[in-house]
Chains A and B, each alone.
Chain A
Amino acid sequence: MNGAPKNTPAHARTQVLRDQRTDIERVQDDLSSLLASAGYDDAARFAIRLAMEEALVNAFRHGNRGEAGREVTLEWRISAELAEFIVQDQGEGFDPGAVPDPTLDENLEIPSGRGIMLMRAYMHEVEYLPPGNRIRLRYMRAGRASA
């Protein structure tokens, strides 16, 4: 076997999540197994799990406003080099620039607003797509020494 080109996705899927906790846990467990089998180490899996937790919870909680019956769609593809995720909620979108920097001294004691910064810290690319209810997260395995 000559094998597939190096950047061919090993796994790709689109999933619809309806129950916030049950579906997130199921997806996280599935992704963790797939990432491990694709060679992602513990630090990479920790980073991706944390970022995906924030992205999916934000989609349910803020995007869909916690309303029953609303769905979150997750598209992902995982290869040996790249793990890419797109999370879409059924909300109207928002401006991530409106979230104050939680690391400023004056904001340290505000208990909310850290999800986006954690996603940005742990993933290589985080991009909100118009109209703001879709977020794309990328983790590039090559070139990332640690989370």
Chain B
Amino acid sequence: MASENSRLRITEKDGITRVDFIDRDILDEANIRQIGSELLRLVDSKPALKMLLCFRNVEHLSSAALGTLITLHSSVKKKSGQLRMSDIRPQIFEVFVITKLNKLFTIDETAEHAMTRFSA
């Protein structure tokens, strides 16, 4: 699924596609475009995708990265899928709160918790 130079680690378990970001910083526009393309390809790869985005490694992200997450969210919603996010560091979570994207996104504390929260 992911290419050799992917910036994502993608695993499947119990019908849920888990995506871990490899990079600590999601800032570079070219990388963000690549990440966005990979995520959208995943959404297109199966109907009603259940996707978990795990931010465990992420220390910095930019407004461009937020834009990509919003586009992903819309795309998942259009395809009747489910998107959850987890393991967001407090400093990054604050960015979500400031931008009020915590109201738009479904955020769980840990990936383990998130895995149990997808609807059947």
Contacts and interface: CB of A to CB of B under 8 A. Distances in A.
Interface of A: 20-21, 43, 46, 49-50, 53-54, 57, 61, 102-103, 108-115, 117-118, 121, 147
Nearest to B62: A53
Contact of B94 (A111, A112, A147): A147
A109 B94 contact: no
Interface residues of B, number: 24
B70 interface: yes
B95 A111 contact: no
Please give me the 6 A-B residue pairs with the lowest Cβ-Cβ distance, nearest first. Answer: A111-B67, A114-B63, A111-B70, A115-B63, A103-B100, A121-B98
B95 A109 contact: no
Interface of B: 27-30, 60, 62-64, 66-68, 70-71, 73-74, 91, 94-95, 98-101, 103-104
Contacts of A57: 29, 62, 64
Contact of A50 (B60, B64, B70, B71): B60
A61 B99 CA distance: 21
A118 B61 CA distance: 11
| Secondary structure of the A contact surface, majority rule | helix
Contacts of B103: 108
Contacts of B73: 109
A50 B104 contact: no
Contact of B98 (A43, A110, A113, A118): A118
